[in-house]
Amino acid sequence: MNYRHAFHAGNFADILKHLVLAQCVEHLNAKPKPYRYIDTHSGIGGYDLAGDEAERSPEWKDGIGRLINADLPDEVESLLAPYLGIVRDMNEGDTLRHYPGSPEIATRLMREGDRLHLCELHPQDSETLDARYKRDKRVKVEQRDGYKALKSLVPPPEKRGLVLIDPPFEDKDELAHMAEAVMAALDKWPAGTFVFWRSLKNLWAADRFDNGLAEWLISEKQLAPEKILRADLWIRDLASEGKLAGAGVVVINPPWTLEEKLVEGLPWIADTLAQGDGYGWRVDGALTDEDLEDLAD
């Protein structure tokens, strides 16, 4: 309840999360049937990079600030175009003042017949979120615990859609809460696309969580290995002290084009956003070939 994303808006972790979100939404747009976007931890929708919080902790300057006017290689342009297009549309000229949260990315990419369900537990942030979208008939905002809400929100009437789970990680058991919510929701909606963000303190901890979830999905839910995709980015050695050095997403039922685009674009993004030695990236399915053979046995 104390977390304020405005301090971190537009940083490297937001870039990876939001470019993946934009790619997933664009993939859903490729078919004419309507769909639903569900955001369990919505925040306030958009952020003022000249506001007090962003000025006190201007992480965006080494994040979106480095990308917005960069000369992008073709393979990076393909990956970033939907996301960067929104950031540019929200700002005038070369001045970077406004940054989209995940609800703003979704509302700007989604179509008239699609629907959005946004959950935000923080009272003030929920009120701000509701005021931002009260004139958009596609959007419903609830002041509600997104984890508890998720099971009742799926499957949506449209049967197609995307869930983003992006918690503040204030609770030491956040990963467990996230896994529990994803498992319960997948039981009811196995065809949905689920994107969940998690901080990356060290690769061992992330592997332990990701592999456990992947094993459950493959062995218990009979999900094909290619239906699980992991993308991580770290801007300096993960063992370094100070601010968060790494973060990433796990995508269940990802767009079939996403892995290739990430593999082509993330090396350049990592080089561009690096803040020290030991930076890097990875894109994989969480489980190794050997792990998959063990499951098959």
Q: Which of the residues are catalytic? A: 166
- 26, amino acid identity: E
Peptide bond connecting 32 to the previous residue in cis, omega within 30 degrees of 0: no
- CB 199: neighbour CB atoms within 10 A? 17
> Which residues, 6 or more positions from 19, have their beta carbon under 8 angstroms from its beta carbon?
79, 80, 82, 83
Can you give the length of the chain in residues?
Answer: 297
φ, ψ dihedrals at 156, nearest 5°? -75, 160
> Which residues, 6 or more positions from 32, have their beta carbon under 8 angstroms from its beta carbon?
none
> Which residues, 6 or more positions from 275, have their beta carbon under 8 angstroms from its beta carbon?
62, 235, 236
Q: How far apart are CA 290 and CA 113, in angstroms?
A: 44
> Which residues, 6 or more positions from 108, have their beta carbon under 8 angstroms from its beta carbon?
86, 89, 100
- CB 223: neighbour CB atoms within 10 A? 17
